[in-house]
Amino acid sequence: MTSQSEAQYKVFLITGGASGLGAEYAKIFLQLGAKNVAILDIAEAVGKTFVASLNEKYPGKAMFIKCDVSKEDEIKTAFQQVLDANKRIDVIINNAGVGNDSLHQWRTASEVNWQGVVSFTLKGMEHMRKDKGGTGGTIINISSISALCKYSAFPTYCGSKIAVLHFGQTLSVPPFFDSTGVRILTICFGPTVTPLVENVHERMLDRSFDETFKTEEDVRSCQRIDSAVTAFVKMFQEGEPGSIWLSINNQPGIDITSDINQAFDEFKMKWLA
């Protein structure tokens, strides 16, 4: 586990990495000695500018690839471009996300939040798995507190995030890690000061269902980005294969795997035993 929990000499692929938390992951892992970070994002101008700033500080260690993770052909192309440039991928961070339940955007949001995560995870797994000649690796999928709570204004977003959580824990059932050497980690972020909480009322399914972020003060009470990043790094360094983590209220990252397992086990014992 030690080698997987170190960033040094690793090649990172980060979706949605041009800004927000994705950009912060790129910065911190370069600080921790990453060999290269590949930034994938739909925002081409922002991404190129960001990568140029990274390369000023870490010459030749960052690359940008325009990629819409709702489109499978772009995912395939981007994944191969990262491999062609670096020969391997050690860590995938499925960070790209859309928080938009409006009637004209829910499908795209679902494709980004769910199908894009599955696609990059499966491609990464096939590339990394030791039982097929790979060297192992880490895949980190971003879920949300929305996977664990009911926010009636965002049913599609909540649904996509619990899908991400359950996908990771199900894929990781033993002997997956022992066979493949691929460590799957999932983190659930509570409300964090990122673009996802800006103009939130415009992205609801129906404003009459709103039970969250009623005032600007609610938004300001979200946790800081630096706290979320600190929790993320803690998970990367300490997380066991298949573990699920929580980052909320500016607290250190919390491993909630046992709580999730208990909930599933209790249901199984009551109804499926």
Query: What fold characterizes domain 11-272?
Result: Rossmann fold (3.40.50)
Per-residue confidence (pLDDT) for residue 202, from 0 to 100 = 57
In the chain, what are the domain boundaries? 11-272
SS (H, E, C) 225-256: HHHHHHHHHHHHHHCCCCCEEEECCCCCCEEC
Kindly state the percentage of the chain with pLDDT values over 70. 89
28 within 8 A of 233, measured Cβ to Cβ: yes
Per-residue confidence (pLDDT) for residue 127, from 0 to 100 = 98
Is 157 a residue of the active site?
yes
Residue tagged active-site, from 25, 58, 151, 157: 157
Of 153 and 73, the structure prediction assigns the larger pLDDT to: 73
pTM over 0.75? The answer is yes
Model confidence at 137, pLDDT cuts 50, 70, 90, reads very high
How many helices (H) and strands (E) the chain has is answered by 10, 8
56-106 pLDDT, tens digit each: 999 999 999 999 999 999 999 999 999 999 999 999 999 999 888 888 888
Res. 119: pLDDT tops 70: yes
Q: Where are the alpha helices (DSSP H) in 129-211?
A: 155-171, 176-180
4-29 pLDDT, tens digit each: 889 999 999 999 999 999 999 999 99
196 within 8 A of 187, measured Cβ to Cβ: no
Per-residue confidence (pLDDT) for residue 196, from 0 to 100 = 58
